[in-house]
Amino acid sequence: MKTKQEQEDHEHGHDAEEGHSHDDGHDHDHDHGGSEPAGWKSHWDLLLALVILVTMIVLRFGFHFVPTKWVDFGIHAVAFILAGWRVLDLAFRKAKRGDIFNEFVLMSVATIGAFYIGSYSEGVAVMVFYCIGEWFQDAAVDRAKRNIKALLDIRPDKVTVVRNGQTQVIEPSETQLNETIQVKPGEKVALDGELLSETASFNTAALTGESKPDTKYKGESILAGMINLNTVAEVKVTALFKDSKLSKILEMVQDATARKSQTQLFISRFAKVYTPIVFFLALAVALVPYFFVQDYVFNVWFYRALVFLVISCPCALVVSIPLGYFGGIGLASRNGILFKGGNFLDVMTKINAVVMDKTGTLTKGVFNVQKVVANGIDEKDLIRITAALEKNSTHPVGQAVVKYAVDKIGNTTATNVEEVAGHGLKGTVDGKEVLAGNLKLMKKFGVDYPAETEGIVDTIVVTAIDKKFAGYITIADEIKEDAVSAVKAMHDLNIKTVMLSGDKQTVVDNVAKQIGIDEAYGDLLPEGKVEKVQGLKNAGKHIAFVGDGVNDAPVVALADAGIAMGGLGSDATIETADVVIQNDQPSKIVSAIRIGKITRTIVWQNIILAMAIKVVVLILGAGGIATLWEAVIADVGVALLAILNAVRIQKIKV
């Protein structure tokens, strides 16, 4: 709830605490009536002031017409009030609260001071060009925020729902769980659901950044934001409108613009210290020479102090830096990468080691049974019993066994099922104790198995019945198409690559060799992964961990940046990861690092540009060389250059 003062400010159109802020925060009160439209009609007074200023300059220098002092003062005063009433109003209200060290008071003092010494046109020019610069800055920031929101705000306004055999067009928010919706060719899916039609093709570009069609089959998940490409598709709603993956992503991206980077926080703190220092330095420029200069003239040194105040305005920094981070977040979103804040863009620039999970990150996680070897039991029985136990597992390896045994399992069920973390499952099938998992499970329960099984390269599910080895099933995963090129690109950036997996070492070594991974560790339990990552941190590495963000939560928490692959498939992933890669491509890890580096480079270009030019003009102003004209042109010019530099981030290809 707003305070009474805040409500009063908002009614004036300049609420510095509640209105639009350039860095979406409240640290430096850099707001200029963001509740107003950015069009020229809302700035008619500023444009009229500009016309008056230009007219007076043309009359003076073009036609050598100089009105009397009071006429000259009156005309410029009208232009000054038209241009600067918003700034003067906000400066007055802030000063009334005791907040005098801000840019509004700074500009008010500088321009009123110019009028005091008779530099009317300079005073109007400072206020006019300052306000024009602020207008452009507000427009640039608003546009950047709108671009980010529009990037993912693709939810349709209407949805066709099937009720009582009839179709109705309603609001998506009115749709209930388990209802059936129809999606016509060319329409966007409004809600998450399960495909009821036999098959349908969808364009997922808005969600993943990839425009190639994705064919879905009956029973597969369909997500809000996908576009149906061919036939009418029927979808059963599995999540309410507010709970869809797309809604969660929208919230995440909007939150990202509010989560500041260390650079933004530093500049905000810097501006709070910098502005009062500038005030006192300007005061010193005006008064200190009295004690050292023989022919001291107050108006001369006061004018130099005004130049000092104008050029020292920190607008270029407090505007262009958050704008740069908005641009980086927008660029990443367009490439199917979601950053949870500008701070993570900074983190990615320091990454020199990428630790990756194997399954689902570097491999597709689509396992298929390759070979079944039974020992003292019929092969069909081995498959049936193992699949009955694996039905209780969500692991891709177990699901591959169940899929293979779909026509062999019958009514066989497992009871008393227990999961042995990192090892496999234990349960009862056909009245017998069954173990199904890796070789570590066999060792844990003292089951003897043939020595040759140790040398099998593929992933294997070993089964024991009543503590006796009953055979094994080999399963192979497929490496993702861009995994090799992604790892090579990381090496080109001098980034160390490490793969961690719970799979046996032979499988891990085989995958690592094919992809080109520097170091690969298998047979790891969750605590083993934490130990490896901690070892890298102790060696001074800045680590990004790439996995599903759920099962590997301890490692994600330990890493400098947690990156989730395929975040659209998991609510928990979206909530726990720092960065979400939407299309499962390892190459996007490199894109995320590059976007972080691009953003940081442009932000620092702006900081150096602004500070360098300001220091030069400050020195020239204090020395009496630069005038108010140079000061305002330098201030507004630097701000606009910084804005243009920040805006170009969104057009860069990675």
Q: Where are the beta strands (DSSP E) in 501-560?
A: 519-521, 543-547
How many Cα atoms within 13 Å fall on the side-chain side of residue 286?
18
Q: State how far Cα 389 lies from the chain centre.
A: 41
Identify the burial level of 271 via C-beta atoms within 10 angstroms of its C-beta, where 0-12 means exposed, 13-18 middle and 19 or more buried.
Answer: buried
- Joined tokens for residue 538: 């102790």
Does residue 30 register a pLDDT over 50? no
Q: What are 561's strand-pairing partners?
A: 544
Domains of the chain, CATH where assigned? 42-152 (no CATH), 176-239 (2.70.150.10), 366-478 (3.40.1110.10)
Alpha-carbon distance of 35 to 14, in angstroms, equals 8
Q: How far apart (Å, rounded) are the C-alpha atoms in residues 189 and 210?
A: 17
- In Å, what is the CA distance from 333 to each residue of 151, 160, 454? 7, 29, 45
Evaluate the CA torsion angle 634, 139, 328, 260 in order and state its sign.
positive
Residue ranges in 187-314 assigned as alpha helix (H): 205-208, 245-256, 262-287, 298-311
Report pLDDT digits (tens) over 402-453.
989 888 878 888 999 998 887 899 999 999 999 999 998 999 999 999 988 8
Residue 357 annotated to the active site: yes
Q: What is the mean pLDDT of residues 594-600?
A: 93
394/576 Cα distance (integer angstroms)? 20
pLDDT tens track for 451-497: 888 888 888 899 999 999 999 999 888 888 899 999 999 999 999 99
| Burial (Cβ within 10 Å: 0-12, 13-18, ≥19) of residue 454 | exposed
Task: Residue 386: name the closest of 307, 461, 300 by CA.
Answer: 461
Q: Regarding beta strands 337-339 and 543-547, do their DSSP bridges make them parallel or antiparallel, or are they unpaired?
A: unpaired
Which of the pair, 32 or 194, is modelled with greater confidence?
Answer: 194
Q: Which residues have a Cβ under 8 Å from the Cβ of 443 and sit 6 or more positions away?
A: none
Asked if residues 323 and 22 have their Cβ atoms less than 8 Å apart, the reply is yes
φ, ψ (nearest 5 deg) of residue 473: -125, 125
SS3 letters for 420-460?
Answer: ECCCEEEEEECCEEEEEECHHHHHHCCCCCCHHHHHCCCEE
Contacts of 4 (CB under 8 A, 6+ apart): none
Residues with Cβ within 8 Å of 231's Cβ and at least 6 positions away in sequence, in order, are: 185, 197, 200
Q: For residue 380, is pLDDT > 60?
A: yes
Q: What are the φ and ψ backbone dihedral angles of 519, each rounded to 5 degrees?
A: -135, 140
Residue 198 · residue 218 · CB < 8 Å: yes
Residue 6 backbone phi and psi in degrees, to 5: -65, -40
> What is the SS3 string spanning 336-382?
CEEECCHHHHHHHHHCCEEEEECECCCECCCCEEEEEEECCCCHHHH
Any idea which of 16-20, 52-56, 139-143, 301-305 has the lowest mean pLDDT? 16-20
Q: Is the pLDDT of residue 24 over 60?
A: no
- Cα separation, 254 vs 326, whole angstroms: 10
Question: Phi-psi bin for 481: left (phi > 0), alpha (psi -120 to 50), beta?
Answer: alpha
- pTM of structure: 0.67
Distance CA 34, CA 108 (A): 20
pLDDT score of 20: 35
Secondary structure (3-state) at 159:
strand
Tokens 């008010």 map to which residue? 108
Mean pLDDT of 376-395: 90
Residue 175 CA to residue 102 CA, distance in Å, equals 50
Considering just the CA atoms, what is the radius of gyration of the chain in Å? 33
Q: Tell me which of 446 and 108 has the higher pLDDT.
A: 446
SS3 of 544, please?
A: strand
**CB-based contacts of 462-468 (< 8 A; 24+ apart in sequence):** 462/435, 462/436, 462/437, 462/438, 463/382, 463/385, 463/386, 463/434, 463/435, 463/436, 464/434, 464/435, 464/436, 465/377, 465/385, 465/432, 465/433, 465/434, 466/432, 466/433, 467/433, 467/435, 468/376
What is the predicted pLDDT for the residue at 383?
A: 93
pLDDT at position 572 is 56
The one-letter amino acid code at 108 reads S
Percentage of residues of the chain with pLDDT beyond 90:
22
CA–CA dist 618, 316 (Å, integer):
15
- Band of residue 389 on the pLDDT scale cut at 50, 70, 90: very high
| Whether the predicted pLDDT of 238 surpasses 60 | yes
Cα distance between residue 560 and residue 355, in whole Å: 11
**Within its chain, how far is the Cα of 557 from the centroid?**
18
Q: Catalytic residue among 357, 477, 548, 635, which?
A: 357
What pLDDT does 144 receive? 63
Question: How far is residue 393's CA from residue 400's CA, in Å, rounded to a whole number?
Answer: 11
CA-to-CA dists, residue 515 to 362, 479, 487, 488, 519, angstroms: 9, 8, 7, 9, 11
Which of helix, strand or coil describes residue 163?
strand
